Amino acid sequence: MTDRLSYVSGIAAVPLLYKTIGLALDEAAERWGDREALVVGHQDVRWSWTELATRAEALAAGFLALGLEPGDRVGIWSPNRAEWVLTQFATACAGLVLVNINPAYRSAELEYALNKVGCRALVLADRFKSSGYVQILRDLAPEIDGAAPGKLHAARLPRLTHAIVIAEEEPAGFHRFADIAEHATDESRHRLSELKGELQPEDPINIQFTSGTTGSPKGATLSHHNILNNGYFVGEAQGFTEQDRLCIPVPLYHCFGMVMGVLNCVTHGATMVFPGEAFEPRSVLETVEQERCTSLYGVPTMFIAELDYSEFGKFDLSSLRTGVMAGSPCPVEVMKKVIERMHMEDVTIAYGMTETSPVSFQTHPDDPFEKKVGCVGRIHPHLEVKIVDAAGKVVPVGERGELCTRGYSVMCGYWDDPTRTAESVDDRGWMHTGDLATIDESGYCNIVGRLKDMIVRGGENIYPREIEEYFYRHEKIQDVAVFGVPDDRYGEAVAAWILLKEGASATEQEVLDFCKGQIAHYKIPAYIRFVDNFPMTVTGKIQKFVMREQMAGELRLQQPLTA
């Protein structure tokens, strides 16, 4: 038994950046002005750092001219597009708080998100896949049809005044995104210049929703200081310079895309390359080859899909050297194939959570091979981590316990929710992650489980309680238990055991139809069972682990449902 405790702190050769995102963009334009900053092939966009900074500043001045003020919340509901990146930088320059809305969200989730943080403006795509975003917003706020742009007064969305659509033509009541910069005035441009000296690195600049165990999502609020530094150190671990070209197939609404991707690039002068609006293996492989990308991001399921693509061998991926695999546990065999077949000898694994901006641990290209593929690496610079037992005491090295993080990366808090903030961040500044982990003698971390029953499906964190709360709205459902089961493709799939009200009957399809269009597709159960009771403890608590074990055995011979 070792006497060493499971505590590590990140030694850094370089200090933390102390600047706003707007200043980082200005510096990128000054240092690397003519180099490519943003490449979005499906939109024929290829902008230099100078052009990106100029466009972002014009958009920021346009936002201010609309009457938006520093601290106002601006939602963005769109797949990966150039407008997303522009909005990210423009809101930061203007001191507006960008609210990331998952493109898979439907009406109930959108309504909750906009109202929870009081969004004054929403930037939205016209549509994405099967979701007609404009129509969903009009259904929530039918008043928009008779309103002038910027004059919305909707009963169900009382704080929202501006709807800004990314489209060639704007419907009644909407602004057109492409026209916002033209609203800028000498006064708004002057105000934008003043803000460069007023905005502070600690100012909140981003809200990202994480599903809550009590049924409603929480708005993790992050500052310039949080996310600019985290993006920078993720890039440092990969050895990034202005010579790198990063392929980003992960979604921008998540920290993986907007922090580890965009903010990594702006602090290193590297090129952001987006292969499509959403992930598709062929477009990723084509983009890496055509753009000579040096780094590639993805959750394990993305890398699996790329490796398994029928024409994988036809693509020249020799330009790749590094990247990040994160979002869910990284299978050792997949890591080996990525290194061997995709030329990503320096690929890294990263671990963290939205509330910590997100990365706390990351492997390094110089790590021994068994560590590069078998753990989540060592602590990031300027951060502290400890592993604690149920009593909150730090456990000896090698023993499992809850992972807690402290340092610059810890969120400002959950928006307008001091109670749940206090439940997660203690009075000494430690973020309690809910993850079970071990740290070895050399400081390498392994994630071994979760205190709570969160489901991780292909990089998406799904909290069963949120889905259960939705099911409770169904008139036939008496009780429900949602949990994760093993899945070869996504790591975990969603399963639901449903207890119907006495005398009621229902079908699996009826349940799927109840979900469709109301909750995100990845939250819809792949497996449904109608049961007469749940396994319980003697104190009356549902034993989800019993259900999980039983279902895991049954599902070896069964295909998942499709909504």
What is the percentage of the chain residues whose pLDDT exceeds 90? 81
Written as six digits, the tokens of 385 are: 């981590």
Peptide bond preceding 217 in cis form (omega within 30 of 0):
no
Q: Is the pLDDT of residue 1 over 70?
A: no
Q: What is the DSSP string of 76-94?
A: EE-SS-HHHHHHHHHHHHH
User: Mean pLDDT lowest for which of 42-56, 66-80, 205-219?
Assistant: 205-219
Q: Quick one: pLDDT band at residue 2, thresholds 50, 70, 90?
A: low
Range with lowest mean pLDDT among 57-71, 181-195, 318-332:
318-332
Cα dihedral 360, 361, 362, 366, rounded to 10, equals 130
* pTM of the predicted protein model: 0.86
277: CB partners within 8 A, 6+ apart: 42, 79, 80, 81, 128
At residue 563, the pLDDT reads 63
Q: Which of 325-334, 339-348, 353-362 has the lowest mean pLDDT?
A: 325-334
pLDDT tier for residue 214 given thresholds of 50, 70 and 90: very low
Residue with tokens 């456990």: 395
pLDDT at 195: 98
pLDDT band of 216, cuts 50, 70, 90:
confident
What is residue 213's predicted lDDT score, i.e. its pLDDT? Answer: 39
DSSP H helices in 365-413: 369-374
Using 50, 70 and 90 to split pLDDT, how confident is the model at 83?
very high
User: Quick one: pLDDT band at residue 339, thresholds 50, 70, 90?
Assistant: very high
- H or E element, residue 25: helix 21-32
Total residue count of the chain as it appears in this document: 563
The DSSP call for residue 526 is S
User: What is the structure's pLDDT at 436?
Assistant: 85
Q: Which of 50-59, 135-144, 279-288, 483-492 has the lowest mean pLDDT?
A: 483-492
Percent of the chain with pLDDT over 70: 97
pLDDT digits (tens, 9 = 90+) for 141-165: 999 999 999 999 999 999 999 999 9
**Domains in the chain with CATH codes:** 21-38+47-218 (3.40.50.12780), 455-557 (3.30.300.30)
User: How far, in Å, CA of 310 to CA of 301, rounded?
Assistant: 16
Kindly report, residue by residue over 40-69, the tens digit of the pLDDT: 999 999 999 999 999 999 999 999 999 999
Q: Which residue type does 479 have?
A: D
pLDDT score of 212 more than 50: no
Nearest to 226 by CA among 253, 269, 268, 258: 258
The pLDDT of residue 215 is above 60? no
> What's the pLDDT at 538?
47
Amino acid 300: pLDDT? 87
Q: Which residue has the tokens 């106002």?
A: 72
- Alpha-helical segments (H) within 149-272: 186-198, 224-237, 255-257, 264-268
Residue type, 183: H
Residue 540 is predicted with a pLDDT of 54
Per-residue pLDDT tens over the stretch 233-268: 999 999 999 999 999 999 999 999 999 999 999 999
pLDDT digits (tens, 9 = 90+) for 378-436: 999 999 999 999 899 999 999 989 999 999 999 999 999 999 999 999 999 999 998 88
User: Average pLDDT of 329-336?
Assistant: 82
* Cα–Cα distance for residue pair 95/92, rounded to 1 Å: 5
Q: Directed axis angle between helix 224-237 and helix 21-32, to 10°?
A: 40
Mean pLDDT of the chain: 93
Summarize the confidence of residues 547-553 as an average pLDDT. 88
d(CA 62, CA 178): 10
Q: How far apart are CA 358 and CA 383, in angstroms?
A: 12
